[in-house]
Structure 1
Amino acid sequence: MTIRIILADDHPIFRDGLVHSIEETGTLEVVGIGGSAEEAVALAAQYKPDVALLDLSMPGNGITAAARIAQAGTAGAIAMLTVSEDGADVTAAMQAGATGYILKGVSAAELRGILQKIAAGEAHVSPGLAAQMLRIMQKSEKAEHRPIDDLTKREEDILKGVAAGKSNKEIGLDLKIQEKTVKHYMTIILSKLQARNRVEAALIAQKAWAEK
């Protein structure tokens, strides 16, 4: 069965050579050709290809086109074709809905093999770029806002006492504040952490502080 592909790239000479390379063995067919994000979205809607192969830096932005095609569900799979080895571009492309990120330095035979895998439902990112993408995603996860970061210094001090297994009275003595004041702060702390009780608040705190 022939794999149907649409291709969007704004460099005509490169694009023509690419079409020839893709179709050389007869197992893949380029059914639509465009040079911009708008044209790519329209081609996907018209042909419902197995794979939409998009240039990252074409007019209108390839990632924008990928997101629109993915949202519309008009292509079986989406692959980016680019010279960019920036991990941020890889991450953005995957988040937009692409399952393939192909560098323009690949050989014709490699490209055909990659497109066949992508059409079959596999993902493709070169090992070096995959490592970059993983590092970026890990940094992003660490940078995500945590409710515990909203605690004031006083609230954090009280929570440290709770995590240490101390009673409100003991915490009050340590911090030189009244027990009822500690109780008041605990109500605020539980609310901020969305914790149901002191034990849950202590567990949230211990996990968060261990990750620092």
Structure 2
Amino acid sequence: MKIRVVLADDHPIYREGLARSIAEGEDFTVAGEAASAAEAVALVEAARPDLALLDISMPGGGIAAAAEIHRRFPEVRIVMLTVSEADHDVMAAMKAGAVGYVLKGVSATELLAILREIAAGHSHVSPALAARLLTAMQASGKNDAAPGVQDLTRREEDILRHVARGLSNKEVAIALGLREKTVKHYMTTILEKLRARNRVEATLIAREAWGDGT
């Protein structure tokens, strides 16, 4: 089954080229294109895609679109594709429900690889941006990595280590011999203990505490 993607960008030439690049992936299909936040939300409602690929700087705002899509269609995985490297944009996107933040400088091949990972349940933030995001999180005083990680039970730590390696809830469940619903329950508790808003932030905290090898 192909991965269905809707994309929203207010630059027609870029959007058309992006649509062609995605359609060239044998396991992808473009379910629709939009040029504004309102159009993006309406398109997601009509097409119910697997992924919503959104630009930040389009009419109505990509982050506002992400928040509305996440609220109404939480099963749709949201990816921001943007030129913005601003910390506040990355953090706002994650808070809005995005599970991917990709800079427009990536090649078509890289983008398709990232989208495949996200469709499989993983998350993605450019490594350089991830390091800055963690710094911004810590500077804001919202997260204190070490105490939060130390508060985890052994089972919670095992699950977080797997998540930090890029595994989806289903993959973690298989690896640890648990039900997927049980992993989701543990992840809710883990996020609360780490004061993280989503698994992307939890992954960053884990990598800061344990290193990239987790």
Using structure 1 for the length normalisation, give the TM-score: 0.65
Whether the 8 Å CA contact 1:49–1:75 is kept in 2: the answer is: no
Whether the 8 Å CA contact 1:78–1:99 is kept in 2: the answer is: yes
Whether the 8 Å CA contact 2:55–2:82 is kept in 1: the answer is: yes
> Percent sequence identity over matched residues?
59
Q: Cα deviation per residue 1:145-196 (whole Å; 9 max; x = unaligned)?
A: xxxxxxxxxxxxxxxxxxxxxxxxxxxxxxxxxxxxxxxxxxxxxxxxxxxx
How many pairs were matched up? 144
Q: After superposition, where does 1:62-211 map in structure 2 within 5 Å?
A: 62-73=62-73, 75-141=75-141
- Runs of 5+ unmatched residues, structure 1: 144-212
Secondary structure of 1:10's counterpart equals coil
Shift of 1:69: 0.3
* 1:40 is aligned to 2:40: yes
Give the 4+ runs in structure 1 shifted more than 2 A: none
Whether the 8 Å CA contact 2:101–2:124 is kept in 1: the answer is: yes
Compared with structure 1, are the counterparts of its residues 66 and 103 closer, same or farther at alpha carbon in structure 2 (3 Å cutoff)? same
Compared with structure 1, are the counterparts of its residues 75 and 42 closer, same or farther at alpha carbon in structure 2 (3 Å cutoff)? farther
Shift of 1:25: 2.5
* 1:27 is aligned to 2:20: no
CA distance in 2 between partners of 1:119 and 1:129 (Å): 21
Whether the 8 Å CA contact 2:7–2:53 is kept in 1: the answer is: yes
CA distance in 2 between partners of 1:137 and 1:73 (Å): 27
Q: Cα deviation per residue 1:97-152 (whole Å; 9 max; x = unaligned)?
A: 00000100000000101111111111100111001111111122269xxxxxxxxx
Whether the 8 Å CA contact 1:44–1:75 is kept in 2: the answer is: no
CA distance in 2 between partners of 1:9 and 1:53 (Å): 9
Secondary structure of 2:118's counterpart equals helix
Secondary structure of 2:4's counterpart equals strand
Shift of 1:35: 0.2
Whether the 8 Å CA contact 2:69–2:76 is kept in 1: the answer is: no
Instruction: Give the partner amino acid of 1:116.
Output: R
Match of 1:158 in 2: none
Secondary structure of 2:26's counterpart equals coil
Whether the 8 Å CA contact 2:66–2:96 is kept in 1: the answer is: yes
Worse overlay, 66-75 or 42-51: 66-75
Higher-Rg structure is 1
- Runs of 5+ unmatched residues, structure 2: 144-214
Compared with structure 1, are the counterparts of its residues 75 and 15 closer, same or farther at alpha carbon in structure 2 (3 Å cutoff)? farther
CA distance in 2 between partners of 1:81 and 1:25 (Å): 17
Match of 1:53 in 2: 53
Shift of 1:75: 4.7
Shift of 1:18: 0.3
